[in-house]
Amino acid sequence: MNDSGENGEKKRSRRPPAERTAQRDPERTRAAILDAATREFAENGMGGARVDAIAERAGTNKRMLYHYFGDKEQLYLRVLEEAYVSIRTAERALHIGDRSPEEGIGELALFTWRYFLQHPEFLSLLGTENLHRARWLRQSVRLKELHSHLIGELSDVLEQGKKQGVFIQTADPLHVYLTIASLGYFYLSNQYTLSTIFGRDLLEPTHLNAWERHIVHVTLTSIKR
């Protein structure tokens, strides 16, 4: 039933400048807008992003954008929610409790670093949202449980490590997560100013690999007995 390609083209249009009929695909249009918006907001922030630019990137127009998402702010919030759901979903699939505590933490650190590296738009969106003091995120209800799971799982792993005597008793799950995230976030999100003032390209593979090892090393030595 999937009509791929052209069905009978009986359409000899009379007027419109665009004679080519776009095949209708609401789901695709919606996804294209969301994707285009993600890139536009990530590159230019909330204040700098242009609604016209998003429509153009999505290969559609403003009318559709307002039709599906309401207005610029609601679209931005959807982009942000989507970004959070993506990283937390991938994170869950790790199941850091399946390995030894030490390996579990190391795995989480590696995953986080590599996810940040492959999703610069996520870091950028976080930066924008924080510039505005989480003005839009705070309105979103559906995001909290997403995170309580992360802390819960991390807490279990730490407890097990403490019982086994490999981790110090004061190790705190939130602190461990913040440590991992800090080291990845700052290096990447501030790579441009850092590369400029220190005169080294931080994105060179050699430096990236060194920093990856550094993150794991710092995280583990800070909680090991």
Partner DNA sequence: CGAGCCGGTAACTAAACAGTTACTTGATGG
Partner DNA sequence: CCATCAAGTAACTGTTTAGTTACCGGCTCG
Residues that bind DNA (CB under 7 A): 1, 7, 11, 13-18, 20-26, 29, 49-52, 60-64, 66-67, 71-73
Contacts of 202 (CB under 8 A, 6+ apart): 187, 191, 194, 195, 208, 211
By CB under 8 A, residue 200 contacts a copy of itself: yes
- DSSP class per residue in 39-88: HHHHHHHHHH--HHHHHHHTTS-HHHHHHHHSSHHHHHHHHHHHHHHHHH
By CB under 8 A, residue 192 contacts a copy of itself: yes
Q: Which partner, a copy of itself, DNA, none, binds residue 13 by CB below 5 to 8 Å per kind?
A: DNA
Closer to DNA by Cβ: residue 78 or 119: 78
Contacts of 91 (CB under 8 A, 6+ apart): 108, 111, 112, 115, 150
In whole angstroms, the minimum distance from the beta carbon of 27 to a copy of itself comes to 29
When binding is defined by CB under 8 A, the residue of 86, 196, 201, 225 that contacts a copy of itself is 196
- Only one of the segments 47-55, 70-78, 92-100, 158-166 lies at the binding site for a copy of itself (rule: CB under 8 A); that segment is 47-55
Strand partners, 224: 167
- Only one of the segments 19-27, 68-76, 106-114, 147-155 lies at the binding site for a copy of itself (rule: CB under 8 A); that segment is 147-155
The total of other beta-carbon atoms located within 10 Å of residue 109's CB is: 24
